[in-house]
Every structure is written in C-alpha cells, then in structure tokens.
Amino acid sequence: MTVAIIVHGGAKTISNDKAKANIDGCTAALEAGWAILQRGGSAKDAVEAAIRVLEDDPTFNASMGATLDTDGEVYLDAAMMDGSNLGWGGVVAVQGVSHPISVARKIMDDKPRLLASEGAERYAREHGFEMCKPSNLITLEQRQHWEKEEAVLDRPATVGCVALDDSGTLVAGTSTGGVANQPPGRVGDSAIVGCGLYADGKVGACSTTGDGESIIPVVLAKTAVDLLAQDRHPDEAAQMAIETLKQKVTGEAGCILIDPQGRVGWAHNSQGMAVAYMTTEMDKPEVFTRKESKPYSQKD
C-alpha cells in the first residue's frame, strides 16, 4: 500500500526573498504529516498536523500572519474532508482561534457541519481548543501592508494538505485567512466542500488555493477529483482542472491531488505555488516554489 502526502502554501507570486521561507515552511509541514503516516497514523492526523504547522507560520495566509480585511481584522476559514465516508467539517469567519483546522477536524468527527463566526468560536471554546486574542494573529508585516493600503504582489496565500494513509483513507484539508482587504463578512472557497477541498476514497482527494470568487463557480476541487476518472494521472487531472478554470473565469488558482494509488499531482496558473510531497515510492521529499522549476533539492 502506497502512503502519500502533499502540502501547498498557496497560489501566489513568490519573490526570491520569500522563496526560502516558503520552502522551509512547506518542508516542515510535510515532515510533521509524514512522521505520522510513517508510523501507521491516520491521514486525518497527518493533514491536521501538517496544516497546523502552516497555520503557525507567518509566511502563509492561515491563522498567524493571515491577511487583514478592510476593517483591519483577521477572519479565518478551514475545513477537512474524509474520503472514507465523505465526512466533512468546517469553520468560516472565525476570530481568536489559533488552529481552525483542528476545530474543523473535530466538527467532522462529531457531526458534519459548517459553523460560522461566533457559533464556531463558541464550539472551539467549549471543546477546549486553543483560543487567542484576535489581534495576536496579526503580524507587523500584514498590519503595515494594510495601513499603507499597499498592492503587495507576494501576499501570503491559503494552505492545504492531502494525505493517503496505509488503510487507504484519503483526506483533504484547507485553511485560509481569505483574501487581503476583503470586505467584512466575505467568505471564500476554502471551507466549501467541492470548492476548497474534496475527498472521495474511491477517486481521489484535492485541496485548492486562489481566488475564491473564481474557484467557487467552477467547483474546482470536485472538478479536479472528477478528472481523475479513467485512471488519469493526478498531474494531468490537476492541469486540466486549472485549464477549466482559465477557460471559464478569470483568476489565479492552484490545486494538489492524490489518487487512491498514491500518485500525486499539482498545478497552478499563478506565478508560484510552494508544494512539497512525499510517498513511500520516493527516497526523499520533493519541494518546489513553482511547477516549472526544478525541485529545491536539485538546485545548483
């Protein structure tokens, strides 16, 4: 049985001075998830562990270091989906929750639901999840961009992970701070099943990233998983899903995929997307900052 995991740090522009932080962050997340899979742990635990690392890393737009809305506030969305039973759970527009992916996973395990704002925060508090002051998740860098109303090219972006464990269970997870300068109350694709993530154990699992307003109408994650039909390789399916988005709407997006055989694939139409993956067929992880580049480990 092949075991596999892939993480992404968001479809975005990655400037040279941010490349190492993206590489290091995705590598650390991959290692956290892989350690769990290697000792026979579940894909749910691996996806949660990997995304928690990315949520703690201000390089990415999820929890710590998330982008600010027009009021200067951080609101978070996250979701997880389990392909073994089509279980899912998510939170949207939450504040003061350190690890929204863990709350989403608990909701999934409890009873599939999408909980919003104060209701989600109350659920997190009542179930003993780590809470924080909403302002604690705002980094100086994001505050400065907001104050100057800067059009920043290499803003942080959504994170995600897909894993296949040794019981054959496929799980997808996605976590985000939305988009920079979003209007208060806006919710994007990331916690919406079929758009920001999808997992069907018989077909495949996907996490997406990019412009929610473009991802939602093409139901990008489900589209990508559907394209795995007839044994299509996940790399080809991922590319076709992004082509579908490009043909139907404008906007930047990316996706990561794993099929039930443990084959991985990814694609994006943004300048960059940090990705790291590892399977039991590989000697060591591959890490990239964009699709066309050589793996980081092969750079001169």
Q: Which segments are annotated as binding site for substrate?
A: 186-189, 209-212
**The binder of ligand GLY chosen from 27, 63, 158, 270 (CB under 6 A):** 158
Q: How far apart are CB 20 and ligand GLY at their closest, in Å? A: 24
- Residue 242, C-beta contacts closer than 8 angstroms, at least 6 positions apart: 253, 254, 255, 267, 268, 269
**The binder of ligand GLY chosen from 89, 100, 173, 188 (CB under 6 A):** 188
* Pick 121 or 189: Cβ nearer ligand GLY: 189
Contact call for residue 179 and ligand GLY (CB under 6 A):
yes
**The binder of ligand GLY chosen from 9, 87, 178, 262 (CB under 6 A):** 178
**The binder of ligand GLY chosen from 63, 190, 269, 289 (CB under 6 A):** 190
**With left for phi above 0 and alpha for psi between -120 and 50, is residue 284 left, alpha or beta?**
beta
Q: How far apart are CB 70 and ligand GLY at their closest, in Å? A: 14
Total number of residues binding ligand GLY (CB under 6 A)? 11
**The binder of ligand GLY chosen from 55, 82, 189, 226 (CB under 6 A):** 189
Q: How far apart are CB 182 and ligand GLY at their closest, in Å? A: 7
Annotation: binding site: 186-189, 209-212
Per residue, the 3-state secondary structure of the chain, as one string, reads: CCCEEEEEEEEECCCHHHHHHHHHHHHHHHHHHHHHHHCCCCHHHHHHHHHHHHHHCCCCCCCCCCCCCCCCCCCEEEEEEECCCCEEEEEEEECCECCHHHHHHHHHHHCCCEEEHHHHHHHHHHCCCCECCHHHHCCHHHHHHHHCCCCCCCCCCCEEEEEECCCCCEEEEEEECCCCCCCCCCCCCCCCECCCEEEECCCEEEEEEECHHHHCCCCHHHHHHHCCHHHCCHHHHHHHHHHHHHHHCCCCEEEEEECCCCCEEEEECCCEEEEEEEECCCCCCEEECCCCCCCHHHCC
Contact call for residue 176 and ligand GLY (CB under 6 A):
yes
**The binder of ligand GLY chosen from 65, 89, 100, 212 (CB under 6 A):** 212
* Pick 236 or 249: Cβ nearer ligand GLY: 249
**With left for phi above 0 and alpha for psi between -120 and 50, is residue 146 left, alpha or beta?**
alpha
Q: How far apart are CB 166 and ligand GLY at their closest, in Å? A: 31
Q: How far apart are CB 86 and ligand GLY at their closest, in Å? A: 22
* Pick 189 or 226: Cβ nearer ligand GLY: 189
* Pick 99 or 263: Cβ nearer ligand GLY: 99
**The binder of ligand GLY chosen from 65, 210, 234, 272 (CB under 6 A):** 210
* Pick 210 or 234: Cβ nearer ligand GLY: 210
Catalytic residue numbers? Answer: 158
Q: How far apart are CB 75 and ligand GLY at their closest, in Å? A: 10
CA end-to-end span of the chain: 34
User: Is the distance from CB of 59 to CB of 156 less than 8 angstroms?
Assistant: yes
* Pick 134 or 295: Cβ nearer ligand GLY: 134
Interacting residues with ligand GLY (CB under 6 A):
158, 176, 178-179, 188-190, 209-212
